[in-house]
Each structure stands twice: as structure tokens, then as C-alpha cells.
């Protein structure tokens, strides 16, 4: 059985999401929790995030 | 690996007058760990924790009939899976340990295990927040002193009336929200305000235990298998309804490595966290 294991390196700072990877990141977030994603999208959170990262 | 050049390089003249405060190196500032206070913790060696649930049942009431109606019940699987690992590792050369006046090994292990625990805590808090289905948006101004009572009242009402409420309530905030809370506490009146004025920040407000983590714990980023979109969000809820699995807790290992003196030290924890579906509304995603 192939399973996905993820490794978090404890002594590395959490890397903030970057504009270049934002679309891919948001697609993953939507797939992971579509209900919550829709609520946050409706509240304009991701538009604010995109602007805060220098996007339009 | 230690950069030992900065340790114990004092001149001979100074050495005779130096006193070390501790036998170890001073460790970095430590963050408070919260997830164990608010979750049910499982340290058994299980990869999956299964907790299937049944659909909610209702009872019918009528005048005495002697008959009844059947309804179909469905069960659904629900599982907490351990699929993430937090790790921290380094190599300590023999000469570094031997020639240092401080206990580098103990310092390394303590610092690394703490780093692992802090990252585990962040992962669990963000994972539980992601699974929370209760939702509340703060009034304009967020956790300002004038909003605190309104916010807390609304949050309590979200879970009030459920039997689980009596397990105790919690709110996890970041340290940047303390000014609003502290001001609300000392201005709240009577003995509570006196206690807050005398003793400082109170860990409980309106019956809700307040846990404070450092700024940057709730994040919008990738944390292992979790794509977290939690920046600007906080977590409120009932204690002990989410499960956090950490088989064997934080572990460490030291090993000899070929062609290198000293030991490689590795610390790690395997983790998983789950908000069980029927209880998810007892956890509230608070939007600031």
C-alpha cells in the first residue's frame, strides 16, 4: 500500500505561501475542505491574501 | 553541529574569574504548548484510530397508540490517521562535546525535542481549526477590549445546550490579542477586575479557559499534509472532542556515523489529528 507521508522540519521556520504558488495552494485547500474554502472565498479572504502577496 | 568557536574562547586571564550560570547552554525561548490541553491525546502505537458514527436519532411522541414507525439508521466510518512526521536532527562531533565546558549533548536534545513539540502543537491546532465546522466572525475591531464580552457571549452560545459543553470551554488566541483581553478583564468590574488588576492576565474569562500561543501559530501555508488557510482565524470550542494521536510521543535517537566522530542526534514525532464529524460543530472557527 502506497501511503503519503509528510515531513515537517521542526527547526525550519514556517514558510509563507508565495504568489507564484498561490493558485496551486488554493486548489489544494479547496480539495481538502471545500465547505470551509467556499466560506473563506465568499468572505474575500483569498483576494486579500493575493493582494497582500503583491497580486491583483 | 555546534559552532563551538564561540564557546569557551575566553582568555586565560578571564577564565579564572568566569562562572557559568548552568552546566548546559541557555536554550531558546519556549512557546507554550496548547494542543494537549484541548484535545484528547492518544499515544498508543496505532496508525489508525477508528470512530464510526451513527446518524442522529429522534424520538416520536403521540397519544398512546400501541404502534410505532421504523426509521433506517446509517453508520459512517471516521478515522484519525497518523500520516505526518515532525523532525529535527543534527550532528555533534566528539571534539565539540569534549572541548566544550557546557553539556552540548543535553542542550541539543532538549532544544530539538522542544522544537519538535512546538511544531507538533502548531500542526494540531491548525488541523483542528481546519476541521471545526462552527463559525463565528468577530465584530469590526476583532478582539478589542470593547468587543470581548460580545465575542465571548456569542462563542459560548455556539456550543451551549450540548451535554459536552460541561467538559469545559477553551479559546486559543495569539499573544497579539492580549491587550484587548487584559483591558476587558481589568475593566469588567468588581472582584474579577480586582483579581485581574492584582494578578495580571487571567487564564479564564466568562468560564472559558484562554490559551495564548505566539503570533504566527495560525497560518496560511502548507504544514505537512495539511494545506492550512488559518491566518486571521482563532479556535474556540469544547475541550476533549478532537483527538490528537502521537504514537510514542516525541522520540529521539543517537547514532554513530561512519567516518565521522561523535554522534548524529535525531528527534521526531509521528502525528495525526482529527475532529470527529458528529462533534465538529463543538469547535468554532473564529474569524478576526
The three cell numbers locating residue B128: 483542528
Nearest to B220 among A8, A17, A39 (CB): A17
Predicted confidence band at B97 (pLDDT cuts at 50, 70, 90)? confident
* pLDDT tens digits for range A21-56: 999 999 999 999 999 999 999 999 999 999 999 887
Q: What residue in A sits closest to B84 (Cα-Cα)?
A: A6
Residue B131's CB: how many other CB atoms inside 10 A? Answer: 20
Three-class DSSP category at B6? helix
Q: Do B130 and A35 touch (CB under 8 A)?
A: no
* pLDDT tens digits for range B35-62: 999 999 999 988 999 999 998 888 999 9
Which residues have CB under 8 Å from B179's CB, separation 6+?
B145
Q: Which residues of A touch B137 (CB under 8 A)?
A: 43
B13-to-B5, B17, B21, B102, B212 alpha-carbon distances in Å: 18, 8, 19, 19, 46
The pLDDT score that the predictor gives to residue B201 is 81
Predicted confidence band at A14 (pLDDT cuts at 50, 70, 90)? confident
Does A43 lie at the interface with B, CB-CB under 8 angstroms?
A: yes
Helix (H) or strand (E) holding B8: none
Nearest to B115 among A5, A11, A43 (CB): A11
Nearest to B88 among A3, A10, A25 (CB): A10
Domain boundaries defined on chain B: 32-55+74-287
Q: What is the pTM of this model?
A: 0.89
CA-CA distance, A33 to B246, in Å (whole number)? Answer: 23
Class assignment of domain B32-55+74-287? alpha beta
Does A41 lie at the interface with B, CB-CB under 8 angstroms?
A: no
CA-CA distance, B209 to B201, in Å (whole number)? Answer: 12
Q: Which of B106, B46, B6 is nearest to B246 (CA)?
A: B46
Taking 80 as the threshold, does the pLDDT of residue B14 lie above it? no
Q: What residue in B sits closest to A12 (Cα-Cα)?
A: B88
Q: Do B227 and A28 touch (CB under 8 A)?
A: yes
Q: Which residues of A touch B83 (CB under 8 A)?
A: 3-6
* pLDDT tens digits for range B230-241: 999 999 999 999
Amino acid at each position: 500500500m502506497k501511503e503519503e507521508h509528510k515531513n515537517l522540519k521542526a527547526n525550519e521556520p514556517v514558510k509563507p505561501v508565495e504568489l507564484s504558488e498561490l493558485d496551486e495552494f488554493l486548489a489544494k485547500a479547496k480539495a481538502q475542505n471545500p465547505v470551509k474554502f467556499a466560506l473563506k472565498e465568499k468572505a474575500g479572504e483569498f483576494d486579500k491574501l493575493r493582494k497582500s502577496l503583491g497580486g491583483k | 553541529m555546534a559552532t563551538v568557536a564561540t564557546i569557551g574562547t575566553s582568555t586565560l586571564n578571564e577564565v579564572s574569574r568566569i562562572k557559568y550560570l548552568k552546566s548546559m547552554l541557555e536554550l531558546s525561548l519556549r512557546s507554550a504548548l496548547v494542543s494537549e490541553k484541548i484535545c484528547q491525546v492518544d499515544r498508543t502505537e496505532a496508525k489508525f484510530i477508528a470512530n464510526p458514527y451513527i446518524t442522529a436519532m429522534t424520538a416520536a411522541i403521540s397519544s398512546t397508540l400501541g404502534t410505532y414507525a421504523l426509521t433506517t439508521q446509517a453508520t459512517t466510518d471516521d478515522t484519525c490517521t497518523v500520516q505526518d512526521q515532525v523532525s529535527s536532527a543534527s550532528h555533534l562531533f566528539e571534539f565539540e562535546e569534549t572541548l566544550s565546558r557546557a553539556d552540548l549533548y543535553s542542550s541539543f536534545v532538549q532544544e530539538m525535542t522542544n522544537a519538535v513539540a512546538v511544531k507538533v502543537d502548531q500542526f494540531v491546532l491548525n488541523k483542528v481549526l481546519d476541521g471545526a465546522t462552527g463559525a463565528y466572525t468577530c465584530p469590526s475591531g476583532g478582539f478589542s477590549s470593547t468587543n470581548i464580552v460580545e465575542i465571548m457571549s456569542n462563542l459560548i452560545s455556539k456550543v451551549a445546550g450540548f451535554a459536552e459543553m460541561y467538559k469545559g470551554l477553551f479559546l486559543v488566541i495569539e499573544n497579539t490579542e492580549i491587550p484587548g483581553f487584559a483591558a476587558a478583564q481589568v475593566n469588567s468590574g468588581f472582584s474579577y477586575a480586582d483579581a485581574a488588576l492584582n494578578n495580571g492576565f487571567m487564564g479564564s474569562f466568562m468560564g472559558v479557559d484562554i490559551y495564548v500561543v505566539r503570533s504566527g501559530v495560525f497560518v496560511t501555508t502548507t504544514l505537512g499534509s495539511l494545506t492550512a488557510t488559518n491566518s486571521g482565524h482563532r479556535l474556540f470550542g469544547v475541550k476533549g472532542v478532537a483527538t490528537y494521536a502521537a504514537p510514542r510521543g516525541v522520540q529521539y535517537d543517537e547514532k554513530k556515523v561512519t567516518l565521522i566522530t561523535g554522534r548524529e542526534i535525531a528527534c521526531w514525532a509521528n502525528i495525526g489529528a482529527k475532529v470527529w464529524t458528529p462533534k465538529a460543530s463543538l469547535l468554532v472557527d473564529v474569524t478576526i
